């Protein structure tokens, strides 16, 4: 029997949130991708795992639309193997990943994989130099036939369905320029096709970094059909019982469930990998607190203390600097409050602005 505390500490160690220093090369989270959403995205997530923000640049990393169509950061040297790992398992999988875009394609007799290939070919031809997303979208809408297009009320324009647009970018050999909003697409220089590698296998990576988990957890993380995930379930996954539920993790990682971890305090960004686990009832058992951490709009960050999530935090940037407000759900040791302040100061330094205030309530 494995308890919740063991699972949380396992993930802290697996994701290297307990280390002080590290490099891009030895950062395990980059194997599955570090989501880059919001001001405190991939760079802050890596900083929380000991990677000095000044130690890497666009020459070392690549930002790609991959899992769930979200922007994820990877090592540039891994891009070929990442492309193989994040590709849909099958046409049915591709259909689920592109959501409602699949319906008109099916009606027109176009398979989902063929559609993604066609969009990728067209995008590749359009993006010969760095090009803003809106320009790419407009040019695509001018050359793609009706089954690929939809009318967007918000934009009051007809353009490609969003998910095929995003998921075709990597097959088209395109990356996102770092720090651009709206995003600017450009060709990935030196991109070569590579065979799938076990290290980047998305199912194995989920179990390694967010295990113990169920096939349904993994399927929801990937936006993939559950049968597709079950069909590819690792043979070396071993069963454990967590809170009376059967779960799995890789056999090589099983001993780590019993290992201890150093006490660490981290201000996790709203889309940090630690918070991306699909078993939110394990991360935050209290429903009211879970609702506070994962609202429909405007997610806060999470306060991690000694392997547990103990509250939420929000930053506010003003002309005078950065203000951080942390709302704790339970009492924490006095030293932990000091480290929350330290983390707020690190965040301000990461953003390149002074700290104005830190409020802990």
Q: What pLDDT does residue 57 have?
A: 96
Q: What pLDDT does residue 59 have?
A: 96
pLDDT, one tens digit per residue, over 232-242 is: 999 999 999 99
Answering whether pTM is above 0.95, one says yes
Q: What pLDDT does residue 152 have?
A: 82
Q: Say if strands 184-187 and 61-65 run parallel, antiparallel, or are unpaired.
A: unpaired
What is the domain partition of the chain in residue ranges?
Answer: 4-187, 204-250, 265-360
Q: Is residue 164 within 8 Å of residue 157, measured between CB atoms?
A: no
Q: What pLDDT does residue 196 have?
A: 82
Residue with tokens 């390149």: 352
3-state secondary structure at position 3: coil
In the numeric block, which tokens belong to residue 316? 């506010």
Where the chain has pLDDT below 70, the residues are none
In the numeric block, which tokens belong to residue 354? 């002074």
Q: What pLDDT does residue 76 have?
A: 97
Smallest Cα–Cα separation from 112: which of 225, 234, 205, 221?
A: 225
pLDDT, one tens digit per residue, over 134-157 is: 999 999 999 999 999 998 887 788
Q: Is residue 247 within 8 Å of residue 239, measured between CB atoms?
A: yes
């Amino acid at each position: 029997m494995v308890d919740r505390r063991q699972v949380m500490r396992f993930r802290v160690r697996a994701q290297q949130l307990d280390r002080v220093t590290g490099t891009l090369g030895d950062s395990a989270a980059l194997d599955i991708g570090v989501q880059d959403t919001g001001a405190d995205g991939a760079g802050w997530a890596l900083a929380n795992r000991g990677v000095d923000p000044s130690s890497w640049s666009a020459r070392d990393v690549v930002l790609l639309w991959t899992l769930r169509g979200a922007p994820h950061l990877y090592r540039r040297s891994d891009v070929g193997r990442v492309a193989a790992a994040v590709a849909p398992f099958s046409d049915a999988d591709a259909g689920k990943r592109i959501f409602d875009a699949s319906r008109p394609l099916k009606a027109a007799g176009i398979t989902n994989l063929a559609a993604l290939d066609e969009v990728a070919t067209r995008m590749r031809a359009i993006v010969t130099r760095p090009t803003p997303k809106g320009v790419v979208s407009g040019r695509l809408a001018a050359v793609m036939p009706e089954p690929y297009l939809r009318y967007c009320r918000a934009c009051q324009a007809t353009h490609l369905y969003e998910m095929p647009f995003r998921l075709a970018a990597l097959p088209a050999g395109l990356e996102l320029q770092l720090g651009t909003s709206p995003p600017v697409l450009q060709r990935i220089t030196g991109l070569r096709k590579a065979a799938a590698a076990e290290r980047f296998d998305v199912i194995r990576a989920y179990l390694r970094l967010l295990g113990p988990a169920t096939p349904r957890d993994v399927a929801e993380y990937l936006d993939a059909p559950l049968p597709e995930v079950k069909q590819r379930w690792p043979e070396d996954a071993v069963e454990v019982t967590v809170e009376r539920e059967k779960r799995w993790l890789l056999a090589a990682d099983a001993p780590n469930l019993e290992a201890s971890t150093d006490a660490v305090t981290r201000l996790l960004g709203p889309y940090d990998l630690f918070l991306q686990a699909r078993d939110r009832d394990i991360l935050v058992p209290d429903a009211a607190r879970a609702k506070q951490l994962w609202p429909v709009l405007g997610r806060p960050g999470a306060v991690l203390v000694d392997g547990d999530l103990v509250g939420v935090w929000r930053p506010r940037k003003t002309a005078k600097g950065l203000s951080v407000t942390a709302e704790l759900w339970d009492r924490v040791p006095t030293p932990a409050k000091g480290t929350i302040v330290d983390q707020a100061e690190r965040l301000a330094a990461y953003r390149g602005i002074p700290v104005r205030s830190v409020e802990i309530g």
